[in-house]
Chain A
Amino acid sequence: MENIKKIEEMLMTAIFEVFEKMFYVFTEPLRGDGDGGVYHMKSSISFNGPVNGMMEVLLSKGTAEVMVKNMLSLDKNEITDPITADCIKESLNMICGNFVRRLDPEKVFLLSIPTFEMISGNLHRDRQIKPHEVRLMFAAEGGNMEVLMTAPEIFNRRCAHEEDVRGHERKRASN
């Protein structure tokens, strides 16, 4: 449990840093497993290194617009779909890169080229979050966003470690 919290904190710090430094957008975490809201776009990226996984960001149109406007100092009428897609992909690239740097500052992780698609509605609305996933939802200027990270190895590693600790404790108790 403690490890899940640490991973969530690392991911949250990465998200805060990217949104504040590059997009001048402040995000407010939304607690609970509730509905994150309605999203209009999604970007995905995978990472491979000491552990492998993938990350997705879902954004409402309003939040994406604010990000593009702030990052590139554009007026609303200058924002196009390709520019928005480019900014959102780059935001996820930075979140993922920042997160894996925190996860293991020594080793190289290879990130895929991010993908982007327009969606309608919340893809995760009715989906049960699996034990090896982390889902963080945020309220942000213009709407909302969420990040979903799937990395079974991080959590398997944690389980293996906890199993080792429990085994060690059992052995000590029997002695």
Chain B
Amino acid sequence: MSFNVMIVDDSGAMRAVIKKIINISGFKMSQCLEAGNGREALEKMKGNWVDVIISDINMPEMTGLELLQFLNEDPLYQNIPVIIVSTEGSRERMDEVLNYGAKGFIKKPFLPEDIRRVLYNVIGVGADGEYQEDRGDADDGDF
């Protein structure tokens, strides 16, 4: 089974890094969609199914928090897991992100391993790319 991933970040360089890490990790990605902010992500999602969203918070036009809030209120999108990748990492912000329904949080700067670990845990696949019945204990980056 392979997955469609949406990467939302206003930095093209950061999107490229995350995409590269996912590819190298062996994660089975059938399609990688990219957006520069939340609004652009929603536009692209109209014509494409997405299995997991990896999003920054601080972006122009529509922030990651606004995107999370929108997805959470839409029955069509509310079950899509969202992983926040951000320079922000205060307790207050992480609580807020959790309340909005995010499934994982990765603080920038990150190591490739951080992305791989949280992505695999949130989507529930093992290193072989297959679904795991028992995902075990959540790591620090998961809620």
Contacts and interface: CB of A to CB of B under 8 A. Distances in A.
B87 A107 contact: no
Interface in A112-171: 113
A137 B60 CA distance: 31
A51 interface: no
B90 A71 contact: no
A97 interface: yes
Interface residues of B, number: 24
B1 interface: no
B11 A109 contact: no
A interface: dominant SS: helix
Nearest to B88: A97
A89 interface: yes
Given A73-B20, A86-B13, A90-B14, A101 B92 contact: no
A18 B90 contact: no
Contacts of B89: 97, 101, 105
Contacts of A18: 109
A8 interface: no
Given A86-B12, A87-B13, A90-B11, A105 B110 contact: no
A22 B60 CA distance: 23
Interface residues on A, range: 20 to 34
B13 A83 contact: yes
Nearest to A87: B13
Contacts of B93: 108
A93 B90 CA distance: 15
Contacts of A86: 11-13
Given A97-B86, A113-B10, A113-B58, 20 more contacts: A21-B110, A22-B109, A72-B13, A72-B16, A72-B17, A73-B20, A86-B12, A90-B11, A94-B108, A98-B108, A101-B87, A101-B88, A101-B90, A101-B107, A105-B89, A105-B91, A108-B88, A108-B92, A108-B96, A113-B60
Interface of A: 17-18, 21-22, 68, 71-73, 83, 86-87, 89-90, 93-94, 96-98, 101, 104-111, 113
Interface of B: 10-14, 16-17, 20, 58, 60, 86-93, 96, 107-111
